[in-house]
Amino acid sequence: MQTTSFLQYIEFEKRYSRHTLDAYERDLFQFSTYIRITFNITSAVQVEHEHIRSWIVSMMNEGLSPRSINRKLSSLKTYFKFLQKKEVVRKNPMAKVIAPKTKKRLPVALDQRTTKALFEEVVFGDSFSERRNQLILEILYQTGMRRSELIFLETANINFEKKYLKVLGKGNKERLIPFSDKLQGLMKEYLLVRKNTFGENDIPYLLLTDKGNQLYPKFVYSVVHKYLSIYTKLEQKSPHVLRHSFATHLTENGAELNAVKELLGHANLSATQIYTHQTMEQLRKVYQQAHPKAGELDEPDASKT
């Protein structure tokens, strides 16, 4: 299957992150390889929904989780929508494909006490790398932005006077995120140290590696994992944990859900409502632990016996 024009489309027009581009390219390669070997199909025009269903079954037999399969199907769905728009195919074979059901997972977040310890107890040095690492953690938690948004955050998009960041999110959508006086000070101090370290660097992005280059996904993950490992035993210690913590703590402290949706850059409210469930689970635990009646079994109604 020819995918070059599609990958160029999502890179330059949709402005998808490098991480997403790699995932789409990998998924399409796996699918094209499967249908070529299994059905001798080499063109997207020949693909029918039965071929995609066969691929789903093969992935399930290989032990892939429904969540992983659905992510791959999402790549196919976007690809065939693109081909339909370009009139390469007349109908979208994904239209008749039913994705495997997945269990809803609550987002993994730090509790507020752990988060406070993380940001108050860690002592960062004055070197460039230490200030940068501190800023990575602070920005992710204080703004809730995605890892890819952090990597592509440009210095020119920071309004120090009005204290907000302009972030380019999924689907090339811009949003404004306010920041605190503390974060303002940390960013200004970092920029001074960066200038002293690298001079007038022409790279537009705020955060740089130790060699003065743009950050990359694994670099950000390693920094976050390093510091979260000190304070939490959660299995997940990724940058997304800080994004989830940002949203969870806002809802726990009474933030209006639509406001949280805008700050996170969600396309619809349903994606944000999961944080309401997260808060309810926390309330349920507190109730069960603290209320004297919470542990009692229901007693039979004598009038009905």
Burial degree of 298 (CB within 10 A; 0-12, 13-18, 19+): exposed
Active site (catalytic) residues: 146, 170, 240, 243, 266, 275
- Rounded Cα distance between 211 and 215, Å, is 10
SS3 256: coil
Q: What are phi and psi of 63, to 5 degrees?
A: 95, 10
pLDDT in single tens digits along all 305 residues of the chain: 889 999 999 998 888 888 889 999 999 999 999 999 999 999 999 999 999 999 999 999 999 999 899 999 999 999 999 999 999 999 999 999 999 988 767 788 999 999 999 999 999 999 999 999 999 999 999 999 999 999 999 999 999 999 999 998 887 889 999 999 999 999 999 999 999 999 988 899 999 999 999 999 999 999 999 999 999 999 999 999 999 999 999 998 889 999 999 999 998 888 888 887 666 666 666 667 776 766 654 444 444 43
Rounded to whole angstroms, the Cα distance separating 206 from 204 reads: 7
Please name the residue that has the structure tokens 């490098």.
18
Could you give the domains of the chain? Answer: 4-96 (1.10.150.130), 112-288 (1.10.443.10)
Q: CA-to-CA distance for 125 and 199, rounded, in angstroms?
A: 20
DSSP 178: E
Sheet holding 174-178, edge to edge: 158-159, 164-168, 174-178
The answer to whether 99 and 70 are in contact (CB under 8 A) is: yes
Residue 46 DSSP class: G
Rg from Cα positions in the chain: 24
